[in-house]
Every structure is written in structure tokens, then in C-alpha cells.
């Protein structure tokens, strides 16, 4: 068991994760034409179960690229912050 874990960690360390991250960042910043946005983003929303009813802008055609969709603003009332929680600072 230990040997298997060591092998998995070593294989993981050999992966080009920095390059993959940079590539994914570039893919996210590609501006899509308006006609392609809804079909492409619908796949993303379905795969990652994004709750678009919480978004301030629900029209997928309004997001120029995947990065904008990922960083979308939420409606103010959809995820309120519990002010009584000791971790919340004023």
C-alpha cells in the first residue's frame, strides 16, 4: 500500500501542472462570439452544476468568456453572510 502511494505521488509530481494551468487560463480568456456563448456555457453550467438563478446576470450570452462566467456576480440576497458567526469581521 505504501509503495503504491509513493508511486502515485511521484507520477503526480511528473505532470506538467503549471503548463496545464497556464493553458487553461488562456482558454478561459478567449472571447466567444455571441452565437456560441449560450451552447458552450450551457455545457459548463451543466457539468459543474452552476446555479445560474443566483447570478446577477442570468443571460449566458452576456458573458464574453468563460472567465467572466466563472467570476460572475451574485444577487445580493442569494447568499447572505451570517453576521453572528464569530469568523465574520465587521
Give per-residue pLDDT as tens, 12-27: 888 888 898 999 899 9
Does residue 14 lie in a domain region? no
Residues in the chain: 90
Does residue 9 lie in a domain region? no
Does residue 3 lie in a domain region? no
Confidence of residue 90 (pLDDT cuts 50, 70, 90): low
Does residue 7 lie in a domain region? no
Does residue 66 lie in a domain region? yes
Does residue 63 lie in a domain region? yes
Number of independent structural domains in the chain: 1
Nearest to 56 by CA among 34, 41, 71, 38: 71
Does residue 18 lie in a domain region? no
Q: How far apart are CA 59 and CA 42, in angstroms?
A: 11
Range of the domain at 64: 28-75
Question: What pTM value is reported for the model?
Answer: 0.69
Amino acid at each position: 500500500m505504501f509503495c503504491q502511494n509513493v508511486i502515485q505521488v511521484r507520477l503526480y509530481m511528473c505532470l506538467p501542472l503549471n503548463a496545464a494551468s497556464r493553458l487553461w487560463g488562456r482558454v478561459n480568456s478567449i472571447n466567444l462570439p455571441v452565437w456560441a456563448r449560450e451552447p458552450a456555457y450551457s455545457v459548463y453550467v451543466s457539468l459543474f452544476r452552476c446555479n445560474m438563478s443566483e447570478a446577477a446576470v442570468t443571460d449566458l450570452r452576456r458573458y464574453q468568456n468563460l472567465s467572466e462566467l466563472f467570476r460572475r456576480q451574485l444577487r445580493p440576497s442569494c447568499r447572505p453572510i451570517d453576521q453572528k458567526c464569530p469568523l465574520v469581521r465587521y
